[in-house]
Amino acid sequence: MDGRKGRLRAERDLKIGDELKVIGTVPGWTSPIALHLVFGGHVDGDLAWDLNATKCNYVIDSGPADTTDIGSRPVYVVVAFADGSIVKSNDVTMKVTN
């Protein structure tokens, strides 16, 4: 998401040092229990979703981009719900350059 303009983006261009943040958002009537960030095909953790703490938006802050992030990679989140269902978000391509 482009936080400056409030629009969803299919691509995001970043430079070394820019913050790598992904926001997972679910409708208020759902019961998410966990989410996973998938960055360039690699699952980055199993994060518990506490609705009392995060409400319907979960911000995953991976810190500043560094030289290991250079290149274009697909990024998405997978959300698990209390009823056992699993949903994958849309892909966003993150391109990190010097």
pLDDT digits 0-9 by tens, 14-44: 999 998 888 888 988 999 999 998 988 888 8
Question: Token digits for 37?
Answer: 């960030």
Q: Comparing C-alpha atoms, which of 18, 6, 43 is closest to residue 95?
A: 18
Mean pLDDT on 5-13: 65
Distance CA 45, CA 65 (A): 18
Residue-wise pLDDT tens digits, 37-50? 898 888 887 889 98
Percent pLDDT > 90 in the chain is: 33
pLDDT band of residue 71 (cuts 50, 70, 90) is very high
pTM over 0.85: no
Burial bucket for residue 54 (CB in 10 Å: 0-12, 13-18, 19+) = middle
E runs forming strands in 17-90? 19-25, 32-39, 42-48, 57-64, 71-81, 86-88
HSE-up of residue 21 (Cα within 13 Å, Cβ side)? 10
Q: What are the structural domains, with CATH classification, of the chain? A: 11-97 (2.60.40.10)
Distance CA 48, CA 79 (A): 10
